[in-house]
Structure 1
Amino acid sequence: MVAFDCDGVLVDSEPITNLVLKDYLNELGWRISLNETCDTFIGRSIKEQMPYMEEKLGKALPETFLPEFQRRRDEALRQQIRVIPEIEQVLKKLQSSAMPFCVASGADSGKMQITLGHTGLLPYFEGRMFSGSDVARTKPAPDVYLLAAKSMAKLPGRCVVIEDTVAGVTAGVAAGMHVLGFTRSSKADALLAAGAKQVFDDMRDLPELIL
């Protein structure tokens, strides 16, 4: 089985989401740059990072912070989301080979419905979508990948994970899965250091690595 992360692997959402977060944190008083926002928060649950944000701000976040962030994020995603180049061709090849695959994201399920829905990828994953909303702990904990394997009746050691962040690679490794690192959002050496077995920078190369 192949388990795809969603953001940065299937859809090009990371720049959009992190720009929204950067602008919001700037409004609240943290003058963080876009590069710093990406380095700090990419691949991680915003909800779980809220105590860290409060520490950096030196004050409590507004009670409406999370729903307001999600509202802004979702609006931006609806307008700007695009697929990762060549990913649909990869999914079609997996379908034709009868290789089972799913999406296992640390993001909330509502976000996946927007990103996969607005890019036309949703039909590939109907009934095989696992999110941070489904588990107690999000990445870098392995929970969502273990849930995906259990739900699809696959042993973790027989699963391949496609990830683009250190947190995601760490989650896949902790789940006992073979992890391939996609270097669109993170540097190759960082993904390898986290435990990725191989790295690649072009989705056209992926079928040869998994089929």
Structure 2
Amino acid sequence: MARFDMVAFDCDGVLVDSELATCKVLAAMLCELGWNITLQETYSAFVGRLVRDEIPMIEQRIGRPAPPDFYQQFVARRNAALAQGVAPVRNVAAAVERLHAAGMKFCVASGADRPKMELTLGKTGLRPWFEGRMFSGMEVARTKPAPDVYLQAAQVMGVAPERCLVVEDTPTGITAARAAGMTVYGYAELMDAQLLLEAGAERVFDDMAQLPALALA
């Protein structure tokens, strides 16, 4: 008997290679506020976190209140950057197709807002695979690292949490999936594999071509 009945993907960094473009926008905006943060520092500090929730930290760092429309401006500039082009994660399209051919249920459960998911999945050609199977942490009571979005996905998809495999690339997402009672595999092509294991990933892998064999075993 197969171990899993469903694969739940995070979106950014797992399905779509959107983190770099997003962090470039955020780094530029933080520099405009006087925080001379590098792109790598932005990546380390903010990937896996909601910028909206990090505004108090930003204000502490710059020593004054952020502009009232800072988050709205970030979303607008981020979406404009992503609309110019975003690529799918390497080998993920073929992996999803193989899961579909094998009859495996799958969905996307992201901490991001639905318009961002629709934009990036649409730009990468992945959206048809996930129509009706997109779950946003912005539409539940608590977003990641709380388990709400993963529990909602399991309920709607009709799968017991313990029969779900989650693919995540950040400690925040791994914490959320573990709290939902799900098994988590860490995708570590760009992230520190040891960091993902320490956060609670059962195993890590660095090529989406490996995923079907791992999920269908």
SS of residue paired to 1:80: coil
- Size of the alignment, in residue pairs? 211
What is the aligned counterpart of 1:138 among 136, 143, 158? 143
The gaps in structure 2 that reach 5 residues or longer are: 1-5
1:65-91 Cα offsets, whole Å, 9 max, x none, are 111101110011011311011101011
Residue type of the alignment partner of 1:152: M
Matches within 5 A, 1:44-83: 44-83=49-88
The gaps in structure 1 that reach 5 residues or longer are: none
What is the aligned counterpart of 1:104 among 106, 109, 116? 109
TM superposition outliers: structure 1 runs of 4+ over 2 Å:
none
What is the aligned counterpart of 1:190 among 178, 186, 195? 195
1:151-191 Cα offsets, whole Å, 9 max, x none, are 11111111000001111111111111000000033201000
What is the aligned counterpart of 2:176 among 171, 177, 180? 171
Partner of 1:154: 159
Matches within 5 A, 1:191-210: 191-210=196-215
Matches within 5 A, 1:11-26: 11-26=16-31
Matched, 1:29 2:34: yes
Take 1:185 and 1:107, find their aligned partners in 2: how far apart are those partners?
19
**Structure 1 residue 138: Cα displacement:** 1.5
Residue type of the alignment partner of 1:15: L
What is the aligned counterpart of 2:122 among 117, 126, 129? 117
Contact in 2 for aligned 1:16/1:80 (Cα 8 Å): no
What is the aligned counterpart of 2:95 among 78, 90, 93? 90
Take 1:147 and 1:47, find their aligned partners in 2: how far apart are those partners?
22
1:93-119 Cα offsets, whole Å, 9 max, x none, are 111111100000000111001100111
Take 1:80 and 1:98, find their aligned partners in 2: how far apart are those partners?
31
Residue type of the alignment partner of 1:142: P
Take 1:153 and 1:71, find their aligned partners in 2: how far apart are those partners?
35
Contact in 2 for aligned 1:163/1:179 (Cα 8 Å): yes
Residue type of the alignment partner of 1:161: V
RMSD: 0.9
Take 2:57 and 2:190, find their aligned partners in 1: how far apart are those partners?
22
Take 2:102 and 2:53, find their aligned partners in 1: how far apart are those partners?
38
Contact in 1 for aligned 2:87/2:124 (Cα 8 Å): yes
Percent of pairs with identical residues: 54
Partner of 2:3: none
TM-score of the two chains, using structure 1 as the length reference = 0.98
SS of residue paired to 2:89: coil
Contact in 1 for aligned 2:85/2:123 (Cα 8 Å): no
Take 2:167 and 2:34, find their aligned partners in 1: how far apart are those partners?
36
Which is worse superposed, 139-148 or 190-199?
139-148
